[in-house]
Structure 1
Amino acid sequence: MSKTLYERIGGEPAVSAAVEIFYRKVLSDYRINRFFDNADMDKQIAKQKAFFTMAFGGPNSYTGQDMRNAHAGLVKTGLNEEHFNAVMEHLGATLVELNVPANLIAEAAAIAESTRNDVLGK
């Protein structure tokens, strides 16, 4: 049986490290950091770790909303394609920083990209 992306990138330690680095990048980016002004970042980071774990084929402990509902309020305040692209940029840069092989980065990016329409309410 082939390993999941979650297993191939290094499991829980890799996902945890990636999410921590990812949010450092996001929160320092003037293009998108305003969307997190009222967020409880400890909860946000925990939800993101659970989501990536589930999305990458690891143990499913994600109990958050679906992507469309979770981002609907942000769409109303202007979340758009440019913002989604910035998030994708930070995800890729994070995985590069962690020396994740290019083929696994592409796989992770494809999974993240598959949420675009729901995140943007399309």
Structure 2
Amino acid sequence: MSGNKTLYERLGGKEAISAVVDEFYDRMLADDELAPYFEDTDMQKQRAHQVQFISAVAGGPVDYTGADMREAHEHLELSHDDFAATATHLKDALEEFDVEENEIDEVLDAVASLEDEIVTA
């Protein structure tokens, strides 16, 4: 039983989220369709930013200080297919670390709620 633990706690906190984010970006950069979006990206900064973002949406003791979702992604002209592929990589990364299905669903639901802000193409 998860009791009153936040999703952040149930995911294992910052260290576990960092490991998932590393796996996620390894998968993204290995994807020929998505890797070009990261050509001019400082991946160390991007990974740290993503850990902060996931920690914040999961109820962790973190304030997300990044750009608004639309502003951060608008220049990329991402499609719904790009978004779906990204969500699949995130799901696979979470599964790689044996995250329970209900926690995976919570993370993916939080990400899915942002699709309209992220997809601009």
Q: Same fold (TM over 0.5)?
A: yes
The share of aligned pairs that are identical, in percent, is: 40
Number of residue pairs the alignment of both structures matches? 119
- Deviating above 4 A after TM superposition, structure 1's stretches of 4 or more consecutive aligned residues are none
**AA matched with 1:62:** Y
Answer yes or no: is the 8 Å Cα contact 2:53–2:64 preserved in 1. Answer: yes
TM-score (norm 1): 0.93
Answer yes or no: is the 8 Å Cα contact 2:79–2:120 preserved in 1. Answer: no
Equivalence for 2:7: 5
Equivalence for 2:108: 109
Equivalence for 2:58: 56
How far the C-alpha of 1:42 sits from its partner, in A, is 0.8
In structure 2, runs of 5+ residues without a counterpart are none
Q: Write the distance in 1 (CA, Å) between the matches of 2:120 and 2:6.
A: 28
**AA matched with 1:12:** K
1:37 aligns with 2:39: yes
Q: Deviations over 1:30-66 (max 9, x none)?
A: 1111100110111111110100110111022321101
In structure 1, runs of 5+ residues without a counterpart are none
Q: Write the distance in 1 (CA, Å) between the matches of 2:22 and 2:11.
A: 15
How far the C-alpha of 1:117 sits from its partner, in A, is 0.5
How far the C-alpha of 1:121 sits from its partner, in A, is 3.7
TM-score (norm 2): 0.94
Equivalence for 1:92: 91
SS at match of 2:84: helix
- Most deviating of 60-69 and 80-89: 60-69
SS at match of 2:99: coil
**AA matched with 1:71:** H
SS at match of 2:61: coil
Task: Provide the alpha-carbon RMSD of the alignment.
Answer: 1.3
Q: Write the distance in 2 (CA, Å) between the matches of 1:119 and 1:4.
A: 25
**AA matched with 2:21:** V
1:82 aligns with 2:84: no
